[in-house]
Amino acid sequence: MATSETICGQPMDRVDGHLKVTGRATYAADVRLDKLAYAALVLSTVSSGRIKHIDSAPAEKSAGVLAVITHHNAARLHSQEQEKRPGVDPEVGEPLSPLQDAVIRYHGQPVATVISETFVQATYAASLVHVVYEDSSGINDFNAAAAKAKPPTPVKGGKPGKSADYQRGDSAAALAKADVRVDAKYSIAAEHHNPMELHATVASWDGARLTLYDKTQWVDNVQEQVALAFRLDKENVRVISPFVGGAFGAALRVWPHVLIAALAARHVKRPVKLVLTRSQNFTIPGYRPKYLQNVSLAATREGTLTAIEHEGIGQTSIYEEYTESLLDTTRQLYACPNVKTHYRLAAMNVNTPASMRGPGEVSGVFALESALDELAVALKVDPVELRLRNFAKEDPEYNLPWSSNSLQACYRQAAQRIGWDQRTPAPRSMSDGNQLIGYGMATATWPAKRLPASVRVQLKQDGSASIETAGSDIGPGTYTALTQIAADALGLAASQVTVVLGDTNLPTAPVQGGSMTIASIGSAVHEAATAMRNKVIKLAQEDPQSPLHRAVASDIEVKAGRLSLHKAPHTGESYAQLLQRHRQETLELTHSSKPGDETKKYAMRSFGAHFVEVRVDRDLGNVRVARVVSAFAAGRIINPKTAHSQAIGGIVGGIGMALLEHTRWDSRNGRIVNSNLADYHVPVHADIHPIEAFFIEETDMYSNPIGTKGLAELSIVGVAAAIANAVYHATGKRLRDLPITLESLL
């Protein structure tokens, strides 16, 4: 399908790029409404206990203040029944309903909001709210919590590994009689998403109707949850979010500040804007949880894996059990008959963690792929060769054939491009002046999933078309990719297609998460646009005035908005001519699309391989990722340019995870001590050296109608393991704790 004839497969510039670079793309915090007031939050300064007393009088008297809302005067919010919770919420526990009670669950929990005429007045007045706590010592130390870790509470239909222990074969027996085994313990620091755009909500009531301008990855869910909290009909809540300045999972859920903005606007009877500060972005939305992981591998002398045991202990809050697909890869990546996985939770007085790019798999794969490297060293087998020897020809967990799997090609082509054969296997065997050079690699994988989605297509009398759906574009280039898919299906130029997103008034769409958007919404657009094209063809066939009257449908093609016969291109007419003759302003149809039984017949995953070169200062311990070469097999690539941007972005995120990002709680009181971008380190330009990301051409006949598999999450999975493995090769030091810091290499 990706021929030069099609627009899909072309490296098209972003259709919204111009709006973004000229500042005309409207983000939530950009919204200005008449009589807009501003809210600021007051957060708890203890991690556990109760509010004994709140003195809001000084704040109320402060200039410009309209109201102070605490649990004493906040309207009651209703919470969702557990069974009806959206997939982005934890399956067990109670989401934090803000300003509803005196209970303090974590440090940085909202306890009051101040609404003022201006932002500056609101933030100043918030500093005057005096809160007295009854401080009961909370669980602020992860190691202490991990020592008491428990299995997740079983839930109905809980998936193995996400909520239940998993076992196939007899791993204990295989480990006992292994030729070679590796037993290692890994740890990963918590990380915060820190998208450039701060979380923000503007709430505006008109009687019983509420409009929210929100930073979110899922407008339909915000509508549903907010309607429920305020006992409103869903139709009376409209959520608008046409542009999102990065999210990485931080805006999947409806976080407390969204409800607070709506509460505040109702309280002061004016529209209210609430923009979280950078620091508040650390304790209102979630973050990637800390993990401790134990991995045991058994193998024969020849390097055939005979057992994998993988246990993960993940951080969660005391009010919700956050679990993610930490151990899924371990059960699916390698052909191994004996596998056991255990998931445990360490509950602390922290806000609930959340999905962050590559959630679960990125953490689990760090441990698994580091352990594989340790096994390669123990076996004296090349790490690439070890992986090829244990390649899973079908999914070993569900015993299903892969819908497509080009992992072997990823290994081979990326290895060749980085010059893997020049690598001398012994640690510390390669150097350049003060720098030790190391090469490392690891596997990337992510499940290819698809959710139901609906799309409305309008074909207009001028021959242009619009595509409308509630889905989001948080930055990957969804507007552009959907434009390309629609243009191909309709036989239009890309410039004739307009995509409208991010509004609950549009046909319902799933969350933009899990790398499912193109598979879900892209498939719906493809099907809807194809249906529209067929509808127009039918109109022509049945129209005696049309040159295509009584033509056979399969003989008709549409190119650049003109219907014609394949074999007689002069016989035909344009969409515009046909619609004008029929006096149709527009033709419109809405189409819903959902996965079929292919999910029961095939296992579906994207795959990839990261190869990195690191340079480690032999005296000072600094690690520089000098080069990354990554191959991705993610089905059909709709737009190689935006896909490439997404891939290198994921790799940069992986470099951050490996070397820099580390959210630190002070274990004395559970307060985060680096909740700003000067102390929480993400990579800067100067940290990033050449990154070569490329795609393996792959045709997936089964994943969905357009043959895509998802890329965003995939690109970060495995990066940290590849870097740690390269650091071992450079220095001979096996570092099992992320992030890797220079002091561990002195």
Partner 1 sequence: MQQFSYSRAPDIAAALQQSKDHGESKYLGGGTTLLDCMKLHVETPAHLVDVNHLANRIEVKSTTIRIGAAVRNSDLAYHEVIRTKFPVLSEALLAGATPQIRNMATVAGNLLQRTRCTYFRDTTWPCNKREPDSGCSAIDGFNRSHAILGTSDKCIATHPSDMCVALIALDAVIEAEGPRGKRQIPMRDFHVAYGEDPIKESVLEAGELITAVEIPELPFYARSHYLKVRDRASFEFALVSVAAALQIEGDRITGARLALGGVGTKPWRATEAEQALVGRHPDENAFVEAAGVALRDARPQRDNGFKIELAKRSICRALGVVARMK
Dmax of the chain from CA atoms? 84
Cβ-in-10-Å burial (0-12, 13-18, 19+) of 157 comes to: exposed
Question: Which residue number, 457 or 660, has a Cβ lying nearer to partner 1?
Answer: 660
Q: Does 742 bind partner 1 (CB under 8 A)?
A: yes
Q: How many CB atoms lie within 10 A of CB 81?
A: 8
In the complex, what is the shortest distance from the CB of residue 129 to partner 1, in angstroms, rounded to a whole number?
13
In the complex, what is the shortest distance from the CB of residue 290 to partner 1, in angstroms, rounded to a whole number?
15
Quick one: which segment of 175-183, 328-336, 435-443, 661-669 binds partner 1 (CB under 8 A)?
Answer: 661-669
Q: Does 660 bind partner 1 (CB under 8 A)?
A: yes
Q: Going by C-beta distance under 8 Å and a sequence separation of 6 or more, which residues neighbour residue 227?
A: 233, 234, 236, 237
Q: Going by C-beta distance under 8 Å and a sequence separation of 6 or more, which residues neighbour residue 505?
A: 238, 470
In the complex, what is the shortest distance from the CB of residue 432 to partner 1, in angstroms, rounded to a whole number?
16
Question: Which residue number, 131 or 354, has a Cβ lying nearer to partner 1?
Answer: 131
Q: Output Rg (C-alpha) for the chain, integer angstroms.
A: 27
Question: Which residue number, 542 or 679, has a Cβ lying nearer to partner 1?
Answer: 679
In the complex, what is the shortest distance from the CB of residue 540 to partner 1, in angstroms, rounded to a whole number?
59
Question: Which residue number, 97 or 744, has a Cβ lying nearer to partner 1?
Answer: 744
Q: Does 597 bind partner 1 (CB under 8 A)?
A: no
Question: Which residue number, 123 or 541, has a Cβ lying nearer to partner 1?
Answer: 123
Q: Which of 374, 397, 527, 713 is catalytic?
A: 713
Pairing status of strand 209-214 against strand 237-240? parallel
Using DSSP, state whether 346 is helix, strand or coil. strand
By CB under 8 A, the residues from 54 to 113 that bind partner 1 are none
**Interaction pattern, residues 421-460, with partner 1; x per rule: CB under 8 A:** -------------x--------------------------
Residue 66 φ/ψ, nearest 5 degrees: -95, -35
Q: How many CB atoms lie within 10 A of CB 72?
A: 12
Question: Which residue number, 279 or 541, has a Cβ lying nearer to partner 1?
Answer: 279
Smallest CA-to-CA distance from 333 within 302, 290, 297 is with 297
Q: Does 547 bind partner 1 (CB under 8 A)?
A: no
The answer to whether the CB of 218 falls within 8 A of the CB of 171 is no
In the complex, what is the shortest distance from the CB of residue 194 to partner 1, in angstroms, rounded to a whole number?
14
Q: Going by C-beta distance under 8 Å and a sequence separation of 6 or more, which residues neighbour residue 601?
A: 400, 401, 702
Strand partners, 401: 394
**How far is Cα 678 from Cα 718, in angstroms, rounded to an integer?**
26
Q: Does 416 bind partner 1 (CB under 8 A)?
A: no
Question: Which residue number, 571 or 674, has a Cβ lying nearer to partner 1?
Answer: 674
**How far is Cα 701 from Cα 32, in angstroms, rounded to an integer?**
47
Residues in the chain: 746
Angle, in degrees to the nearest 10, between helices 523-541 and 478-490: 30
In the complex, what is the shortest distance from the CB of residue 446 to partner 1, in angstroms, rounded to a whole number?
27
Q: Does 666 bind partner 1 (CB under 8 A)?
A: yes
In the complex, what is the shortest distance from the CB of residue 742 to partner 1, in angstroms, rounded to a whole number?
7
Quick one: which segment of 86-94, 130-138, 214-222, 666-674 binds partner 1 (CB under 8 A)?
Answer: 666-674
Cα 541 versus chain centre, distance: 45
By CB under 8 A, the residues from 611 to 650 that bind partner 1 are 619-622, 624
**Interaction pattern, residues 37-56, with partner 1; x per rule: CB under 8 A:** --------x-----------
Q: Going by C-beta distance under 8 Å and a sequence separation of 6 or more, which residues neighbour residue 266?
A: 75, 203, 205, 230
Strand partners, 52: none
Q: Catalytic: 311?
A: no
Smallest CA-to-CA distance from 513 within 368, 329, 238, 325 is with 325
Smallest CA-to-CA distance from 516 within 466, 453, 459 is with 453
Strand partners, 623: 616
Tokens of 564: 């014609």
In the complex, what is the shortest distance from the CB of residue 403 to partner 1, in angstroms, rounded to a whole number?
40
Question: Which residue number, 428 or 624, has a Cβ lying nearer to partner 1?
Answer: 624
Q: Angle CA(368)–CA(640)–CA(444) in degrees, nearest 5?
A: 5
Residue 557 φ/ψ, nearest 5 degrees: -125, 160
Residue 595 φ/ψ, nearest 5 degrees: -65, 155
In the complex, what is the shortest distance from the CB of residue 746 to partner 1, in angstroms, rounded to a whole number?
5
Q: How many CB atoms lie within 10 A of CB 382?
A: 18
By CB under 8 A, the residues from 671 to 700 that bind partner 1 are 671, 673-674, 678-679, 681, 683-687
Count the residues of the shown chain that bind partner 1, applying the rule CB under 8 A. 31
Question: Which residue number, 229 or 612, has a Cβ lying nearer to partner 1?
Answer: 612
In the complex, what is the shortest distance from the CB of residue 107 to partner 1, in angstroms, rounded to a whole number?
9
**How far is Cα 226 from Cα 218, in angstroms, rounded to an integer?**
12
In the complex, what is the shortest distance from the CB of residue 715 to partner 1, in angstroms, rounded to a whole number?
21
In the complex, what is the shortest distance from the CB of residue 599 to partner 1, in angstroms, rounded to a whole number?
42
Q: Does 664 bind partner 1 (CB under 8 A)?
A: yes
The half-sphere exposure of 207 on its side-chain side, counting CA atoms within 13 A, is: 2
Question: Which residue number, 552 or 684, has a Cβ lying nearer to partner 1?
Answer: 684
The helix/strand count (H/E) of the chain reads as: 18, 34
Which string of b and e fits 334-370 if b means at least 16 CB within 10 Å?
Answer: bebebbbbbbbbbbbbbbbbbbbbbbbbbbbbbbbbb
The answer to whether the CB of 453 falls within 8 A of the CB of 470 is no
Q: Does 196 bind partner 1 (CB under 8 A)?
A: no
By CB under 8 A, the residues from 488 to 507 that bind partner 1 are none
Question: Which residue number, 172 or 688, has a Cβ lying nearer to partner 1?
Answer: 688
Question: Which residue number, 58 or 452, has a Cβ lying nearer to partner 1?
Answer: 58
C-alpha distances out from residue 28 to 242, 395, 469, Å: 9, 43, 19
**Interaction pattern, residues 116-135, with partner 1; x per rule: CB under 8 A:** ----x--xx--x--------
The residues annotated with a catalytic role in the active site are: 713
Where on the chain is the footprint of partner 1 (CB under 8 A)?
A: 45, 120, 123-124, 127, 434, 619-622, 624, 659-660, 664, 666, 668, 671, 673-674, 678-679, 681, 683-687, 741-743, 746
